[in-house]
Amino acid sequence: MSKGRRRFRRAAGQAVSVAVTLLGLLMLTFFIGRMMPADPVRAIVGEDATPETYDMVYSQLGLDRPLWAQFLRYMGDVLTGNFGQSIRTGQPVIQDILHVMPATIELATFAIVIGAGLGVPLGVLAAVNKDRWIDHAVRVFSLFGHSMPIFWTGMIALLIFYAGLGWVGGSGRMDYFYIGMVPSRTGFLLIDSLLAGEWRVFFSAINHLILPATLLGYSASAYITRMTRSFMLDQLNQEYMTTARVKGLSRGQTIWRHAFSNIRVQLVTIVALSYGALLEGAVLIETVFAWPGFGQYLTNNLVIGDMNAVMTCVLIVGVIFIALNLLSDILYRLFDPRTK
């Protein structure tokens, strides 16, 4: 079989796999939405609406149709980009999400840089010093990051570093004084403030970003550290490591050039999935820090039973993980030519 045909078959297989996964995701999202105890009609018309008004809205939403017909209508709306309107804001749901998503992406990106930058070296250090005091210290450090509730650490950190020491900013993305000073071009406050030349806003945004991003990054680093340590221990126990040392390679060369090179592919998946988890799992930290992002948007709409918004958020989370898995697959081929 020619190389071009193999590539085509692989791409076609991936496309079919993604299509089937998306279809399953649509079905899961739809049926979860239908099984939720919240009444979307009552959320629209209110508690004091007449039965006639209730029945009219019930019919307009298509809830009087068979379940399969409702699913086909939902799938058609999603494929055409129609996710409905939010009850809470009165705006199209997708417009609301595009408005809040940059704040979460900004927070999660800084957090994963901190998490990976801290977790990978610590994992390697622990593996190289297995069962020594350094290994035990790193494992305790990771255990705390993994087990401590993020909302508790967030409140304690605000109390110490903001209210007590005044080292960082408090809630929100910037000081209230600067709200409205920078026009929103990209939605990313750091980029928009730089484009506008507003350095005061930029440093205020950095000051407010440091604490929540560090806490999220510490939480992510706990998992990355443990996985890196496990992967490295497996490689350090291989026979080729002994062969490399016999050939005269230094300890650093055997660790980084050989052992670490062989776990890069596995780390890609770990970091990618951790990043996805930060994007959809920053609900608590966004609530504690009043961060106007995707997590807080999902929480607020879940409380009032805005099912259009909730179902769209769940769908987007699934799409994010599918995209990250595809990206991991591409990076596999870049880091390890054998997977081609």
Supply the pLDDT for residue 340.
Answer: 54
How many CB atoms sit inside 10 A of residue 69's CB? 11
Q: Both 70 and 112 in a single domain?
A: no
Domain that holds residue 138: 95-339
At a CB cut-off of 8 Å and minimum separation 6, what does 190 contact? 106, 202, 205, 206, 209
Q: Both 126 and 259 in a single domain?
A: yes
Q: Both 74 and 105 in a single domain?
A: no
pLDDT bracket for residue 336 (50, 70, 90): low
How many CB atoms sit inside 10 A of residue 164's CB? 9
Supply the pLDDT for residue 4.
Answer: 62
Number of domains comprising the chain:
2
The answer to whether the CB of 278 falls within 8 A of the CB of 65 is no
Q: Both 53 and 114 in a single domain?
A: no
The answer to whether the CB of 295 falls within 8 A of the CB of 282 is yes
Token pair 């697959």 is found at: 329
The answer to the question of residue 184 being in a domain is: yes
Q: Both 32 and 155 in a single domain?
A: no
Burial (0-12, 13-18, 19+ Cβ within 10 Å), 282: buried
* Per-residue pLDDT at 338 exceeds 60: no
Low-confidence winner among 19-33, 132-146, 149-163, 311-325 (lowest mean pLDDT)? 19-33
Q: Both 158 and 258 in a single domain?
A: yes
Q: Which of 28, 47, 79 is the last residue of a domain?
A: 79
Q: What is the pLDDT of residues 51-81, one digit of tens each?
A: 777 777 677 666 667 777 777 877 777 778 7
Q: Is 92 helix (H, G, I), strand (E, B) or coil?
A: strand
Q: What is the pLDDT of residues 110-128, one digit of tens each?
A: 999 998 888 889 988 888 8
Q: Both 268 and 177 in a single domain?
A: yes
Q: What is the pLDDT of residues 283-319, one digit of tens each?
A: 778 888 888 888 888 888 877 777 778 888 888 888 8
C-alpha span between 178 and 160 (Å, rounded): 24
Q: What is the pLDDT of residues 21-48, one digit of tens each?
A: 777 777 777 777 677 666 666 666 666 6
pTM above 0.85, yes or no: no
C-alpha span between 275 and 281 (Å, rounded): 10
Q: Both 48 and 109 in a single domain?
A: no
C-alpha span between 299 and 301 (Å, rounded): 5
